[in-house]
Amino acid sequence: MEYILNQEQVAIQQAARDFARVELLPGIIERDNSQTFDKDSLRKMGQMGFMGMMVPEQYGGGGMDTLSYVIAMEEICKVDASAGVIMSVNNSLVCWGIEAYGTEEQKRAYLPDLATGTKLGAFCLSEPEAGSDATSQHTMAVEMDDHYLINGTKNWITNGNISEVCLVIAQTHPAKRHRGINVFLVDKGLPGFVVGRKEDKMGIRASDTHSLLFSDVKVPKSKRIGEDGFGFKFAMNTLNGGRIGIAAQALGIAAGAYELSLQYAKQRRTFGKPISEHQGIQFKLAEMATRIEAARQLVYKAAWMKDSGKNYINEAAMAKLFASEVAMWVTTEAVQIHGGYGYVKEYHVERHMRDAKITQIYEGTSEIQKLVIAREILK
C-alpha cells in the first residue's frame, strides 16, 4: 500500500487547498447564514475539474484515481464542507454510478455535463420510511409499454433543488422486495416532477437539501440503468464508494478544525504565555493530530483498495465510521480550545462542529457501518 503522493497528486492537493482558501473562505459565514451556495463558485469548481474527477477523459472528466479525489475532498472540506458534499454527491454517487453501470448512450448523454459541473446530479434513495432500511422503497415505478410511471416522495436529497438530473431508486415489483427495485435517470422539468420543501439544517447549511415529489412522472425505458431489478444492488455498490467520499469530508472537517486550533493556541495568551505552552492544551492538540492521522490512513487505504480493484466494502465502512467519529470529537475539542471565541461564528470552529455531525448519519449511519463491518469480518 503506497500512500506517498506523486507529483500530480501533490499538485491536485495544492490546487484544491488554494481554491478553498481563495474562492470558498470569503463569504462562508454569510452562505451558512443564508443557506445558499454561490453559483459562481460552483461554476469555478467545475472549471477546476472538481466535479468529475474520476470520470474518464473521453466523457469530459479528469480520469483521476480515487486517492486524488479524496485528497481534493479533504482540502475543500477543511474550509467548506457544504461545497464538499455537493462535490461528493456529484462525483461518488452520480457520475460514478452512471460510469460504472450506465449504457454507452447514457454515459455520453449525461457524463460530459456532469463531469464539468455544467449540470449537477442528485442521488435519490432516502424516503420518509426508507433511511437505514433502504429496502423499504415506497416510491413506485410502474412499467408501461415503452416507459415507467414514477410516483412517490424522496427525502433529504442533497442538490435536490440545484440538480438537473436525478438518479431515482424506485420499486417496480413489490413482491420481489429488494430484487424488484430499479434505478432511473430522471431529468428535472418533466411533468409531475416537483421540488418540495427545503430542510433547515444544523450543519452543511449552504448545500441545499430538499424533498422531491413524483406524480405520474413518465420516464422512458431507455433511462433505466441496468437490468430489471438491478436498482438495489446499484444503490449499495454506489454507496460503498460514496462512503469513501464522506470519510474524506469528515477527515477534512477534522483537519480544518485542528489547523484553526493549532494556530489559535499559538496566538492566544493566558497567564503570561501562549496557551499552546499549557500541558492541557498540548495534550488536546496531540490527540487531535494522532486521531486525524489515523483517520487519514484509513481513508487512503479505502481509496487505494478501490483503485486496485480489490473488495473495499469493509475498508470504506471502517474509514467512514472512524473518520466521522474523529470529526465529531476533534471539532468539539476545537471549540473547547477556543473557549468563548469558539462559540461564535467568526472563528469558524463552531461551524465545523455543526458540519461534522452529519458525517455520522448520511450515506449510512455509524450503526449501519458497524453492521457492514461485522458482516464482512464474519464471512
| Residue 348 three-state SS | coil
Q: Which of 329, 345, 352 is nearest to 81 (CA)?
A: 352
Q: Are 270 and 219 in contact (CB under 8 A)?
A: no
Cell reading at 173: 415489483
Q: Cα separation of 315 and 299, whole Å?
A: 8
The four Cα atoms 94, 351, 257, 13 give a dihedral, to 10 degrees, of: 30
For the chain, list the strands marked E by DSSP. 121-124, 140-143, 147-158, 165-171, 181-187, 193-198, 209-220, 269-270, 273-274
| Residue 130 three-state SS | strand
Q: Cα separation of 106 and 285, whole Å?
A: 49
Q: Are 37 and 83 in contact (CB under 8 A)?
A: yes
Q: Which residues are catalytic?
A: 363
Cell reading at 165: 438530473
Distances (CA, A) of 362 to 106, 194, 250: 27, 23, 11
Cell reading at 21: 482558501
Q: Could you tell me whether strands 147-158 and 209-220 are parallel, antiparallel, or unpaired per DSSP bridges?
A: antiparallel
CB atoms within 10 A of CB 27: 14
Q: Are 168 and 126 in contact (CB under 8 A)?
A: no
